[in-house]
Amino acid sequence: MNTTDKSADSQRRRPRGMSRLFRRFRRNSDGTTAIEFGIVAVPFLGLLIAIFETTLIFFTQSALETGVANAGRLIRTGQVQTQGISEAMFKTSVCGSLAGYLDCNARLTIDVRSFTNFAGVTLPAALDENDELAGGNTFSPGATSEVVVVRAFYVWDMITPDHITGLSNMAGGKRLIAAASAFRNEPF
């Protein structure tokens, strides 16, 4: 028996309506686009959200650096020391440069340390061994001609999973955004 006899034999065994249904199903492509979009939609939307979140993180990083630089100028020129600006007021001045969607009260931490010279600058790590914010921050704006390091830390809750963006650097899928400024105080 050759191959044409086999296919003819299988056609005879199948009911007539069934073969017509298979042929019609093979030719019909009305829902193909919807099915293909359904397959591609989830990864596409995930990638779109990851791009949007990455953009927000870098925008926040830039705004935090600007805030630290501007607030650090208050220390450098002696305004913090002579006008009695408190840590809370200094934190508010850093927050002034940040966008309104950021929670400065709960997520922003400020660390200001003074040293006698640049060679003596030693800073503790921002994260502890459990990848949590270490704490132990101080507010010491220093005196005339002292070296001051201002650091600000913002804890960002990641929306997208780390295996997509790879941006989380803290426990619990969070990202620590940090900015720092080092300078010598002016004589005031």
**pLDDT tens readout for residues 85-100:** 999 999 999 998 888 8
pTM: 0.76
Cβ pair 112, 150 in contact under 8 A: yes
Among 50, 40, 43, 48, residue whose Cα is nearest residue 173: 50
The CB-side HSE value for 6 (13 A sphere, CA atoms) comes to: 3
Cβ pair 170, 131 in contact under 8 A: yes
Domain annotation covers residue 9 = no
Domain annotation covers residue 164 = yes
Higher pLDDT, 75 or 167: 75
Rounded mean pLDDT of 136-145?
A: 93
| Whole-number pLDDT of residue 93 | 93
Which tokens hold the place of 115?
Answer: 């040293």
Domain annotation covers residue 171 = yes
Domain annotation covers residue 7 = no
* Helical pair 87-95 and 32-76, crossing angle rounded to 10 deg: 140
Domain annotation covers residue 8 = no
147: phi then psi, degrees, rounded to nearest 5: -85, 135
Domain annotation covers residue 141 = yes
pLDDT in tens, 29-61: 677 777 888 889 988 998 899 999 999 999 999
Domain that holds residue 109: 32-184
Domain annotation covers residue 23 = no
Higher pLDDT, 145 or 161: 145
Domain annotation covers residue 158 = yes
Number of domains in the chain: 1
